């Protein structure tokens, strides 16, 4: 008992010592998602375990930064925290992002196994890659508009590309897409260029399976474009099968940037496989020839937003009807059992109206056994008789006296 009490006291003390997530990341309550993400990237890079191997304070700070970002990056959890503080946030269900480059071989193997089993494993870009980009020591390849480039990037490494767009391209819209026919896991990254000449991570899109390939894309079309985070609320959906459907559109959130200015922009493809390199094809397109596709995308995403609202209302109705159905099913089973019991009692009462002794009914099995025995016995007797007759016949045959005429030669 004392041990349990001390653990609970420590847990309560930890709760009381938690700092405001906004304070931890150095942002305000009115900060945008992009501002929160930028602040997190900088602090995570500063306190990352790879750079502070023997500093326990940096490790604790890294955990605090990650915990705070997991709350503020999720719209639902951020709203819950703003309303009721930490008590409204389930800290046990926080999804942590793993840096695979800092994991050992055994931990990486376990992460790969869980991923194969369908458990969503969130990964983050290696601190080494982010630090090299921030220091401006990465190799950047040119990516011409309308030209696809196929490469293979090693795990936890990145290939950087520079794309130059004109004023006309910026007005028409711009798209950068990456696909992998090998279904490799990768991340598509977009970097801001710092005044010091370095690059800081601004946007990140994880690859997702789309048909026979894995793909990721960034769409700067001049109007709000949405991304679908399929890992959001995945653990809650696993506990409730129906939740997998009703929460399917919860991760449908607007992208931080809607357009790019004319100039040179830097993208990167990051290999996110657990053990092997990732093959990919990247291309950058000006959306001038794709006017119809732009309007279709805008219309479809507007319908998805409407459907998300309708789905929320439908879930309430569905839960009510499901509860009624469950209640009716339970009552159906109960009524059936009660009726069967009453009919059984009625039959017993009917059978009790008699003064005759109870009849001993011989089972059909005993009858069959008796008949089979008789048949067997008769069969055995018949077999014995037939055998005796055969023997007697053979004996008479051998007792026949053959008369041989001695006068005729044999």
What are the tens digits of pLDDT across the range 58-111?
878 888 888 888 788 777 778 878 877 776 665 444 444 555 455 455 444 544
H-state helical runs in 73-211 = 75-84, 105-116, 127-134, 167-172
pLDDT digits (tens, 9 = 90+) for 16-63: 567 888 998 999 988 888 788 888 888 887 887 767 777 888 878 888
pTM (2 decimals)? Answer: 0.61
Contact 45, 35 (CB under 8 A): no
pLDDT of residue 111: 46
pLDDT digits (tens, 9 = 90+) for 236-270: 555 677 777 888 888 888 887 888 999 999 999 99
DSSP per-residue codes, 50-95: TT-TT-HHHHHHHHHHHHHHHHHTSHHHHHHHHHHGGGGS-GGG--
pLDDT for residue 12 is more than 50: no
Q: Please give the share of the chain, as a percent, with pLDDT higher than 90.
A: 31
pLDDT digits (tens, 9 = 90+) for 339-393: 999 999 999 999 888 888 877 665 555 555 555 544 454 445 455 445 555 555 5
CA-to-CA distance for 283 and 176, rounded, in angstroms?
6
Dig out the tokens for 366 from the structure.
């005993």
Residue with tokens 């609202």: 309
């Amino acid at each position: 008992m004392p041990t349990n009490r001390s653990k609970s006291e420590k847990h309560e003390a930890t709760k009381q010592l938690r700092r405001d997530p906004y304070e931890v990341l150095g942002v305000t309550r009115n900060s945008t998602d992009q501002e929160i993400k930028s602040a997190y990237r900088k602090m995570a890079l500063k306190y990352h375990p790879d750079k502070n191997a023997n500093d326990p304070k940096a490790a604790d700070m890294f955990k605090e930064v990650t915990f705070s970002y997991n709350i503020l990056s999720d719209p639902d959890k951020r709203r819950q925290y703003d309303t009721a503080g930490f008590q409204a946030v389930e800290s046990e269900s926080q999804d942590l992002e793993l840096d695979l480059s800092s994991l050992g071989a055994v931990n990486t193997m376990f992460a790969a196994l869980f991923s194969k089993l369908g458990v969503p494993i969130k990964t983050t870009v290696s601190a080494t890659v982010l630090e090299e980009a921030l220091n401006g020591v990465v190799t950047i390849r040119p990516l011409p508009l309308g030209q696809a480039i196929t490469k293979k990037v090693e795990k936890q490494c990145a290939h950087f590309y520079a794309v130059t767009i004109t004023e006309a391209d910026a007005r028409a819209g711009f798209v950068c897409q990456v696909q992998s026919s090998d279904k490799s896991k990768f991340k598509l990254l977009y970097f801001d260029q710092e005044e010091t000449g370095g690059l800081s991570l601004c946007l990140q899109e994880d690859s997702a399976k789309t048909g026979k390939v894995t793909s990721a894309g960034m769409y700067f079309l001049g109007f709000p474009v949405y991304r679908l985070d399929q890992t959001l609320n995945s653990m809650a959906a696993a506990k409730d099968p129906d939740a997998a459907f009703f929460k399917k559109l919860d991760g449908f959130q607007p992208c931080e940037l809607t357009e790019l200015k004319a100039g040179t922009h830097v993208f990167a493809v990051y290999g996110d496989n657990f053990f092997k390199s990732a093959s990919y094809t990247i291309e950058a397109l000006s959306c001038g020839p794709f006017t119809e596709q732009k309007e279709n995308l805008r219309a479809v995403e507007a319908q998805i937003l409407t459907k998300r609202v309708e789905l929320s209302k439908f879930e309430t109705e569905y839960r009510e009807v499901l509860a009624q159905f469950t209640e009716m099913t339970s009552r159906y089973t109960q009524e059936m059992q009660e009726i069967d019991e009453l009919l059984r009692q009625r039959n017993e009462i009917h059978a009790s109206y008699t003064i005759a002794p109870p009849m001993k009914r011989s089972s059909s099995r005993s009858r069959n056994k008796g008949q089979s025995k008789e048949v067997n016995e008769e069969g055995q007797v018949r077999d014995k008789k037939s055998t005796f007759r055969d023997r007697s016949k053979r004996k008479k045959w051998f007792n026949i006296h053959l008369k041989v005429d001695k006068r005729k030669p044999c």
